[in-house]
Amino acid sequence: MPPERAYLEQHGKGWRVSVNVPAAVREIIGKPKLRHDLGTDSLRTANLLKGPYVAKFKQQIDVALASVGRAKQSETREALELAKWAREARERNAPQAEWDEYHAIIAARTAEIRSRDAEPVVLPADDEDGPSLGWKLRPEAEAEARRFGQVAYGKGTPIADWHDGYVEASQVAHRTKADDERALRLLLQWLNDNRVDPLIERIDTMRAHAFAEDLARLAGVSPATCNKYLSRLSSYWRYLAKRVPAAGVNPWAGVGLRGARPKAGEEERAFTDGEVAKLLSGPAKPHMHDLMMIGALTGARLDAIVDLKVGDTANGTILFQPRKRETHARLVPIHPDLVATIVRRCEGKHADSDLFAEWPPVRKQGSMRERSFKASNHFTDYRREIGVDDMVEGKRRSLVNFHSFRRWFITKLEQAGVEDSLISAIVGHKRGSITLDVYSGGAEIERAAKAIAQIKLPPLDGTPIAEAKALRVRPRKRG
């Protein structure tokens, strides 16, 4: 339907305004269409007269939609409902009259969308009415109208339509959910820049690789971060595959950028004993000192520590909630040198009190930041202040960070000869035959306690420290 016929239909020899009423409110309004006879047989005149009536009818429809909780229905949702109607109509063998109305609704809506913000232009006279009125359409509006028709006719599925449900259902950290959101925004931006409709059906392996090649420039990030975004898109497609037939083949599988792995000598690393001593003996605030002690003597991730409750520290163990790819909460025996810190932190508090009230949960509604965000920034400032740093030219991130306590802890267990399967159970790596969750037997916890007790903090009194020589010559893959 050309834009000048949007909301118009012929009635006898004249023209009248015609606005479709959404199915959700037809019973309230009492008719499938709202109409008004314009009293003219001139299309040009009808176009000039229709505006106030269209606005009035739309306002009436909006009021009705609001009464049934549908005031903010998006065009995408409207198109999806039309596609759903068509699927159900085929199953019940709907009469032709209903199909005619279905096609008319889509034609009217696409004409409306296509003419949005169009600029009127006067065309040369072509009949006795004199010059006629034409429209200069915006390319963006034409693309939106095309997408509406594709979705409404069941030929396209919007990429973003399922994403909120995917993010909500994801059992991942807030930071990873933020990566999910940014990966989708970047993909939609790239599709718009390249004039590709943001539909699942338009993403094949070739387009996925093309997006990957442009991603570093588009996002201004490193290849490693690009691969993280590509991984999140692949995860989203796996979610879609169970819900949308068009996503049955994952175009992101195997898509990635080279150069993401750090060069030799540029891997993030464990703290040295000297750095641990400098951090723990420096002018840290009490809560920062306690945070570092728990990190060094449990190998736990920062966000898992900051999220601890007093009740998680019962019976000589600390219960850490799952992080990253972990699927279960795990128990870590409390190191003898950590007992006094835990007792002091728990004193006078209820079981459901925060162990680290100094870093409360993020209060901003909808924020993707983890609770540990500020703690991480405070630690970075402190670490730099006392001169514990390891920067490589061309890299924004230091090779040492709070996670380096975790690497130091693992290294000490390895140096003590603790078997890999027990180390994995203690720090929450992929488990083999040993588990340290809430259902673990006492014998396994005792083995873990003996292993952890072998870790010795470096002297904190300024005594010279001889660093142990590592035999490992390849970068450790475990996080």
Residue 188 and residue 181 in contact, taking contact as beta carbons nearer than 8 Å: no
What is the pLDDT at residue 292? 97
What tokens does 159 get?
A: 């990429």
Residue 375 and residue 359 in contact, taking contact as beta carbons nearer than 8 Å: yes
Residues 14-35 pLDDT 10s: 999 988 887 778 889 998 889 9
Residue 22 and residue 65 in contact, taking contact as beta carbons nearer than 8 Å: yes
| Calpha distance 476→455 (Å, rounded) | 20
What tokens does 20 get?
A: 């479709």
Examine the pLDDT at 227 and tell me if it is beyond 50: yes
b/e map 314-331, b = 16+ CB within 10 Å: eeebbbbeebeebeeebb
| Calpha distance 46→319 (Å, rounded) | 73
| Calpha distance 247→350 (Å, rounded) | 49
Residues 432-460 pLDDT 10s: 556 676 666 678 889 999 999 999 999 99
For 8-44, give the DSSP string. EEEETTEEEEEEEPPGGGHHHHTSSEEEEEEEES-HH
Count Cβ atoms below 10 Å from residue 164 Cβ, excluding itself.
10
Count Cβ atoms below 10 Å from residue 16 Cβ, excluding itself.
19
| Calpha distance 257→226 (Å, rounded) | 7
Query: Phi, psi (5° rounding) for residue 122?
Result: -90, 125
Beta bridge partners of 122: 133
Domains delineated in the chain: 3-152 (no CATH), 159-247 (1.10.150), 273-453 (1.10.443.10)
Q: Are strands 119-123 and 33-40 parallel, antiparallel or unpaired?
A: unpaired
The residue-averaged pLDDT of 75-84 equals 82
Q: Which amino acid makes up residue 160?
A: A
Cα-based angle 4, 76, 91 (whole degrees, multiple of 5) = 100
Q: Are strands 132-136 and 33-40 parallel, antiparallel or unpaired?
A: unpaired
Examine the pLDDT at 476 and tell me if it is beyond 50: no
Nearest to 428 by CA among 446, 409, 443: 409
| Calpha distance 397→384 (Å, rounded) | 12
Indicate the pLDDT class of residue 472, thresholds 50, 70 and 90: very low
Q: Which of 76-85, 91-100, 230-239, 272-281 has the lowest mean pLDDT?
A: 76-85
Query: Phi, psi (5° rounding) for residue 428?
Result: 85, 25
The enclosing H or E element of 320 equals: strand 317-320
Cα-based angle 460, 463, 464 (whole degrees, multiple of 5) = 120
Indicate the pLDDT class of residue 473, thresholds 50, 70 and 90: very low
Residue 8 and residue 51 in contact, taking contact as beta carbons nearer than 8 Å: no
| Calpha distance 322→329 (Å, rounded) | 5
Query: Phi, psi (5° rounding) for residue 280?
Result: -80, -20
